[in-house]
Amino acid sequence: MAEIQKFYPDETIVWDIDFGRIDASLKPQKSRLFLCKPNRETVAELAEAYGKVFQTINNGIHELTFKVPYIIERNKKYIRNPNIDLIRGNYLIRYEKGNSKQYFIINKPKNTADSGREIKDVHCFLLPIELSRKVIRDYQVTKQVYSDIGSDGILNETLLSKTNWSIGYIDADIALAVRTIDVSEQSLIELVDEICQTTNGVPQWDTVNKRLSIYKLESLTHDKGFSIEYGKYLKSLIEEPSFDDVCTRLYVYGRNGLTINNKNFTQESYIEDFTYYIYPFERDENRNVIKHSNYMSDELCHALLDYQILLDQKKSEFITLSNNKNSLELDLKVKTSELNSLNEQLRNILNDIDRYNAQGLDNSQLIIDKTNKENEITAKQSEINQINNNISAINTSILAIKNDIVIENNFTPDLIAERENFINEKIWTDNNIDNEDELYLAGLTQLEKLIQPTVSYKVNVVDFLKVVDCQRDWDKLNLFDYVTIKYPNFNINIKAMIIGFEHDEDGNAINLEIANAVNINNGFITFKDMMKKFTSTSRRLDMSQYKWDKSESNESEINKIINETWNAVARQIKAGVDESIEISERGIVITNPTNPDDMLVIQSGLLAISNNRGLDWKHAITGEGIVAERIFGKLGAFVQVRADSIILGDNGEKLADGVIANSSTWNNAATTANNAWNAAQNAIQKGVSYSSAYIDNTGIYVKDSGNKERVRLGQYATGKYGLKVTSGEIYGTTIRSGAENASTYVELSSNGFEPLSVVVNNNDALNVGTFGNGGSVQFYDYSVGDMRGQIYPHDDAMGKGLRIHARANNGSSLPLHLWGSDVYVDGRAFFYDGITVLGDKPAAVETDNYGYRLLFAHEMPQNKFTDERFGELENGQARINLDPIFLETIEPNVEGTEWFIKLYNFDSFLNLRVKEIGSDYFIVEEKDGLNGKFIWSLSGIRKGYKDRRLDVIDIPK
């Protein structure tokens, strides 16, 4: 073990440098790229490819990018790369590394030229992206995901039937899961992705054998002891918490507005959890505060914890009462059913009595039966009343509990006001849940995900895959493996899951993206939530338990509706306003609540209407036709009319004499009338107003209700023709200035990307539209038809902001000139490839008495960095331990990059010299062994700049 003194005071980092036995013969694996035709015939090996970046994505569709030069060196001559012309879109790339092989599809082979260097940028997706070209239409099924026996499964009917892909392994729970799919159109890759998301499965694609496997996440995760920390692999780390979605009060709703009020003993439709804001508050049994909350006062923390204890105590009482209430409600349903049966038996007895009376038979026994049955009904009603009284008593006790736990009885007004600061509300609804217990538990689970901020971590590490001494970690960089991240200064010490990584093989960089389960100290979002950002869908999958859970009991509401037969004779059903609708052995009887004389009866094969409570029926519809004293309305064709007179139209028009007697005249007259009516309806006449529209010799115009002209089509002013709209809107797919075939014009279109275009000589000059998630302005040189730059908002690795990008159509960057008498930058400015200034580089510094004055930068022929501090001699010597961060910015102290060390007396009598210079320190000695303070300065050449001195530069004119 070795100890290295850290530059932070009073801290020592202990490094374990016992790496174990290293196999020096084991070399890092290098990837090889082979260009193949779609039938996998190898065309060429792209050995000259460089800039290879392999990116894994947790939905399984990995990406590969690389560059191929147009000019290569062969036999000490520069020639055109013969492989350039072989690279085509939809060709395959076989990516080999060690014993691993994967096939990718080329989707974007792009030519670029930059500073005279010509290359082909190639972008590829993993082979299953070809399933995005396979479409399923009008597919509606409810069945299991996959069947390994037969073909009755979603994947059997889609992936296996439409492609040459096969199934490898699918977890049994996933394969047997039943899902409902109802899509009008979607790709197969979207279908597979949605199945994986809804079953919590992870796809694994075998591109060599074209096999799909789906695993549960826990089957793919491994903890191999891999760690990344300060001083070991870690280059950079970004921690980005988001507090926008923190929720402490969650309103929970199910299907048809179902709430949790009856299951939540607070009787509220929401649940609360203030754990995040209380943390890390801690108290002992005597209420002495051990740790304070990061957010809340100690008084509020005490009150919330006391309130939680009260809730726990009252909850057990509530559960007992709730269980008793549930039991009574079940008894009530049974007793009510028994009462309904007794009422039905009584109804049958009454029917028998009516029948006996009609036939003159002895009904004495039936009257006795009637009396006995009425007594049974009275007794049963007494049982029901007692149960209702018991339920009412329980409701009273539950209300008392609610009064005990009301907020105002447990918090002071000041604490209630402070507590209000931490109430962040959200609403969560799941229309698949129609059970109160299930809804309550699901709400608790959902709140656990929302009670703390989400935190994302992006980690950049050293490319240890190329370091022989790191060979024990080579097999630990896999998707879904666990990795420990340590960064003491940020108080980060977490074990996280790798959900994606990018390996820049030639750039010697590895970027990791990690996520973990919800934890009060580390607010990571879950893997399932992270998955959502990698995929998008355009279809609807119905996974409703209410409809389609095949393991559900057949006593569901749907099966009751399907399987039960409504028996109107056995039941008397009343509904409608004031029970105006009755279904009984008489049929369906509907009465008018405001006029009981009006009655409608529907019986077998008959619909009859009476206006005197059924004394007679003057209107009826039977199997023979319509019977009525009067018929009002518009009649179509009929066979027979019996009437004293026939009146047509709304103004009392009658048929001409002899028309009915002559059938041909009747038919011709009807045809003529119809034709004339249609012609009158369809004709538009000059000088006639049609509601608000009017036509005259100048055109068509429309007026509003105030008789003010709003639209004019035609001659809208003397010598002016066209369309004029006053205080209105114009909608259209395309609006263009100039003549129809003009080559120079301004155009507004429905194109969401470029809705406003300025075109000169059929070449773009200016486009205003969208780019990414915001607006964009694009400038062109219309004389050559090429882009010159864009202005658009960005949200990427560089952060959020507005970007001005000078570029051509092919994506290559162009010079950007800011020209003016003065250029002001309000805010910090970053220059990533250096800065060259024709003139001085002063800093403007404000003084107390002399205003702003310029102080100039110290400049040298070489790029050097300097560090300087105080030192103090003890026994005539001082060891100066150099800042380890500063050492990583300069070249080491070797021949050609020597360090320059200067010593300055702080005590004037000292005679100093540098006695020794080490790799990370130097020793200062006083000639006569005196003690005292001094100032030292050390400068070294900036790392990577040792061969640069007085560089020549071409200044653009």
Whether pLDDT at 272 is above 50: yes
Residue 429 phi/psi, 5-degree rounding, is -130, 135
pLDDT of 553 reads 32
Q: Which of 635-639, 693-697, 714-718, 754-758 has the lowest mean pLDDT?
A: 635-639
Compare 714 and 944 and report the one with higher pLDDT: 944
The band of 936, judged by pLDDT with boundaries at 50, 70 and 90, is very high
Whether pLDDT at 638 is above 50: no
**Which amino acid appears at position 154 of this protein?**
I
Identify whether 280 is preceded by a cis peptide bond (ω within 30 of 0): yes
DSSP 375: H
Average pLDDT value over all residues in the chain: 78
Compare 866 and 734 and report the one with higher pLDDT: 866
Per-residue pLDDT tens digits for 226-255:
777 766 666 677 776 677 778 889 999 987
Q: What average pLDDT score do residues 56-69 get?
A: 84
Q: Which of 261-275, 312-326, 445-459 has the lowest mean pLDDT?
A: 445-459
pLDDT of 166 reads 93
Spatial distance between the Cα atoms of 184 and 140, rounded to a whole number of angstroms:
8
Compare 349 and 220 and report the one with higher pLDDT: 349
Q: Is 311 helix (H, G, I), strand (E, B) or coil?
A: helix
Sequence-ordered list of residues with C-beta below 8 angstroms from that of 27, at least 6 positions apart, any chain: 468
The H-or-E segment that residue 189 falls in is helix 188-198
Compare 455 and 169 and report the one with higher pLDDT: 169
Whether pLDDT at 68 is above 90: yes
Compare 466 and 450 and report the one with higher pLDDT: 450
pLDDT of 874 reads 93
pLDDT of 233 reads 65
Which own/partner pairs from 86-92 qualify as long-range (CB within 8 Å, at least 24 positions apart)? 86/35, 86/43, 86/44, 87/35, 87/120, 87/122, 90/38, 91/35, 91/36, 91/37, 91/38, 91/43, 92/35, 92/36, 92/37, 92/38, 92/40, 92/127
Percentage above 70 pLDDT, the chain: 76
Whether pLDDT at 525 is above 90: no
Instruction: Tell me the three-class secondary structure of 657-680, residue by residue.
Output: CCCCCCHHHHHHHHHHHHHHHHHH
Per-residue pLDDT tens digits for 350-376:
888 888 877 888 889 999 999 999 999
Whether pLDDT at 36 is above 70: yes
Report for 305-319, 804-818, 876-890: range of highest mean pLDDT: 876-890
Query: How, if at all, do strands 135-144 and 249-253 pair?
Result: unpaired
What is the Rg, in whole angstroms, of the alpha carbon atoms belonging to the chain? 43
Whether pLDDT at 497 is above 50: yes
pLDDT of 174 reads 87
Residue 272 and residue 249 in contact, taking contact as beta carbons nearer than 8 Å: yes
Q: Which of 128-132, 571-575, 896-900 has the lowest mean pLDDT?
A: 571-575
In terms of phi and psi (left: phi > 0; alpha: psi -120 to 50; beta: otherwise), the region of 478 is: beta
- Number of other CB atoms surrounding residue 304 within 10 Å: 23
Spatial distance between the Cα atoms of 883 and 889, rounded to a whole number of angstroms:
10
Six-digit token string for 639? 């066979």
Compare 98 and 258 and report the one with higher pLDDT: 258
Residue 145 and residue 177 in contact, taking contact as beta carbons nearer than 8 Å: yes
